[in-house]
Structure 1
Amino acid sequence: MDPCILCSPETDDEQKIIFENGSCYFVQKDQRILKRSGLIVPKSHRTTVFDLSKEEWIDTQEMIQQVKSWLDETLQPDGYNIGYNCYETGGQHIFHAHMHIIPRFQDEPHAGKGIRHWLKQEENKRHI
């Protein structure tokens, strides 16, 4: 198995640790489209959000508030998308739990379309 890029984010030159607390990091990569978006990542390897400890949940909540305050102050976004992808079918590609925090702006082409928008499209309907 390849080393997990989220277990040691400081070893990836493209990732920058912005904030850190007892059990998690907030990291960003240079994004071409989703500028200033980032991930809250538990320091311990957890495959999905379902595997987080109580301490990791508490630290994640504190980190969400810290990141939001920082983004509100530095970017003034008009909204946010926040979420986890779990397992391959759920869109998870890195199998280390990570919460996406994506600042959103009114002038984006897809402004107003939330996380569920694409899932609710007719072409996504299961035919069983």
Structure 2
Amino acid sequence: MGKEECMFCSLEQNGEQDIIFENDTCLYIQKASEQKILEGSGLIIPKAHVSQVFLLSEQEWKDSRELLIKAKAWLDEKYAPDGYSVGWNTGETGGQTIPHAHLHVIPRFKDEPYAGRGIRYWIKQPENKRTSLKNE
């Protein structure tokens, strides 16, 4: 998928995406339909089409951090979450389905069915052990 087909490079074509904050190189966005289950969740994305987190410029890193801090303060005020899950998926095997770097910012609440289970919970289950390591 190139820049032309990238949903994060053409946010104006997706009426569900709201830009909440932005700075010189990055945006903090929220998708309306995601709010039904992951209340308050959003993404920090570079404005430029950068395919993965490892290719972010120094300024994009700084601006991502700036938006993360700003988003947290806003989310704390608006939703008062009990915690956060924050993370990058990189590469298809790493769970990245959109080839445009994006940082997930997910407020977490004590009354969630999966409260207390972090971003590693599913991948550290015994049934996820690599086939090549099963005999060890």
TM bracket, shorter-chain basis: over 0.9
Residue 90 in structure 1 maps to residue 94 in structure 2? yes
Deviations 1:31-57 (A, max 9, x none): 221121000000000000001000000
Runs of 4+ aligned structure 1 residues displaced above 4 Å come to: none
Q: What is the CA-CA distance between 1:97 and the residue it aligns to?
A: 0.2
Which structure has the larger Rg over C-alpha atoms? 2
The equivalent residue for 1:16 is 18
Q: Please, which runs of 5 or more residues in structure 2 have no aligned partner?
A: none
Count of residue pairs the alignment pairs up: 128
Deviation at 1:9, TM superposition (A): 1.8
Q: Secondary structure at the match of 1:86?
A: coil
* One-letter amino acid of the counterpart of residue 19, structure 2: I
Q: Which amino acid aligns with 1:93?
A: T
The structure 1 residue matched to 2:110, chosen from 106, 111, 128, is: 106
Q: Is the 8 A contact 1:79 1:103 kept in 2?
A: yes
3-state SS of 2:131 partner? coil
Q: Distance in 2 between matches of 1:37 and 1:126?
A: 31
Normalised TM-score (structure 1): 0.96
Task: State the Cα distance separating 1:10 from its structure 2 match.
Answer: 2.8
Counterpart residue type for residue 86 of structure 1:
T
| Greater fraction helix | 2
The percent identity for this pair of structures is 56
CA separation in 1, counterparts of 2:110 and 2:16? 28
Amino acid at match of 1:120: K
Question: Which one of 43, 49, 57 corresponds to residue 39 of structure 1?
Answer: 43
* Consecutive unaligned residues in structure 1, runs of 5 or more: none
CA RMSD of aligned residues (A): 1.0
Q: Is the 8 A contact 1:49 1:98 kept in 2?
A: yes
- CA distance in structure 2 between the aligned counterparts of 1:42 and 1:82, rounded to whole angstroms: 16
TM-score, normalised to structure 2, is 0.91
For 1:94 and 1:33, locate their aligned partners in 2 and report how far apart those are by CA, in whole Å. 20
